[in-house]
Amino acid sequence: MLIQNVPTPAILLDKKIMEENSRKMEELIRGTSMVLYPHYKSHKCPELARWQMAHGAGGITCAKLGEAQDLVEAGIPVVVIANQIVQPEKLEKLALLAGKASMTVCADDPDNVLALEAACAKAGTRLNVLVEYEVGMQRCGAETHAEVLQLAQLIRRQSHLNFAGIQAYAGQLSHETDAARRKTEMLRIEKDVAALKAFVEMYGIPVRHVCGGSTGTAADKPKDTVYTQLQAGSYLFMDASYERLGLVFRQAMFILTTVVSVKKDRIVTDCGVKSLAMDQVPPRYAAFPDAALSFSEEHTTLFVKGAPLKVGDKLLAIPGHCCTTNNSFEKILLAESGEIIREMPVTSRGKAW
């Protein structure tokens, strides 16, 4: 189908730019100890996860049990849940998934470790567990080296759990626009995590993996980084929020919209906050980068005078945040040379459980 005939709003993913972004990420991490474990939350699309596995990913990272179930069902053999799973019915399902694929989950609480063990003992499966370490985001994670060690020792005493290493995601730096501050802070955290790894290993406990990192910090990692799994997600798509950082990646994902009304001082499109996420920076329109915008549920108003547009014309919007925008759509349309060459279902959209 030609792009101008696509019912809107719709997500267009430019195949060439997506492939270029993938190659750029490969180049960034070449020669380091990091293997890309792309974060599924950025697209929630099993077909793209399979594509990433075929293009060098070591496994797929995700945030939710529902996402992990979809990934395993799609044949992804290595899945890391970079998050805590705590509710009994979810533990049961996670333990069963561990019998179907290599599953890893995070923990920062001793009772949760024991609950993971009990669920896996009941299911007769083995689960890899990363101890999450808090590196400034003020989200989950053990807060001292001693606490990480105690959790690692506890995990190693369980007969159905493997201690897999450390999860240390510095999310507070991902969108830091001050490049010097981003790098300095990144290196400070890198040193702290390296010291933590050495501390745990001093007690005879091998730390096989150190996991974290993002699109915004991938280039700041030193060549001798202690990290082994890079969990970047947005690099494949990019958005207005990451665009401010001047990274090597290019905008590959667009929202195709249709002009539904033209007035003297404004244009209105058929795409509002139900399709364009607002949780980071606002979206912008490629053809009118400086236009003042206002959004309602199903419309954007662009305050531009005398634009040579008519009702039915198409405009491309650049999402403010690609991950939450993808979550609003049923499918991603892969585009090449002005045509849609593939429709890829966003199978895990809305799976926040």
Ligand X SMILES: Cc1ncc(COP(=O)(O)O)c(C=O)c1O
Interface residues with ligand X (CB under 6 A)? 39, 42, 82, 169, 171, 174, 214-216, 231-234, 323
The β-bridge relationship of strands 314-318 and 253-262 is antiparallel
Q: What residues contact 166, with CB distance under 8 A and at least 6 apart?
A: 130, 131, 132, 133, 148, 193, 196, 197, 200, 207, 209, 210, 211
Instruction: Tell the smallest beta-carbon distance from residue 193 to ligand X (Å).
Output: 14
Other CB atoms within 10 A of residue 208 CB? 12
Other CB atoms within 10 A of residue 273 CB? 16
Instruction: Tell the smallest beta-carbon distance from residue 110 to ligand X (Å).
Output: 22
CA distance 257 to 271: 6
Nearer to ligand X by C-beta: 41 or 197? 41
Instruction: Tell the smallest beta-carbon distance from residue 41 to ligand X (Å).
Output: 6
Instruction: Tell the smallest beta-carbon distance from residue 97 to ligand X (Å).
Output: 19
Mapping DSSP onto H, E and C, the string for 267-319 reads: EEECCCCCCCCCCCCCCEECCECCCEEEECCCCEEEECCCCCCCCCCEEEEEC
Nearer to ligand X by C-beta: 117 or 132? 132
Nearer to ligand X by C-beta: 123 or 255? 255
Nearer to ligand X by C-beta: 81 or 293? 81
Nearer to ligand X by C-beta: 96 or 242? 242
Instruction: Tell the smallest beta-carbon distance from residue 128 to ligand X (Å).
Output: 16
Instruction: Tell the smallest beta-carbon distance from residue 336 to ligand X (Å).
Output: 24
Instruction: Tell the smallest beta-carbon distance from residue 287 to ligand X (Å).
Output: 26
Nearer to ligand X by C-beta: 18 or 259? 18
Nearer to ligand X by C-beta: 99 or 136? 136
Nearer to ligand X by C-beta: 231 or 275? 231
Task: Report the interhelical angle of 46-54 vs 65-73 (nearest 10°).
Answer: 60
Instruction: Tell the smallest beta-carbon distance from residue 298 to ligand X (Å).
Output: 27
Torsion of CA 203, 208, 212, 213, to 10 degrees: 110
Task: Report the interhelical angle of 110-123 vs 88-97 (nearest 10°).
Answer: 50
Nearer to ligand X by C-beta: 64 or 284? 64
Instruction: Tell the smallest beta-carbon distance from residue 345 to ligand X (Å).
Output: 20
The conformational region for residue 165 under phi > 0 = left, psi -120 to 50 = alpha, else beta, is left
Q: Across-strand partners of 159? A: none
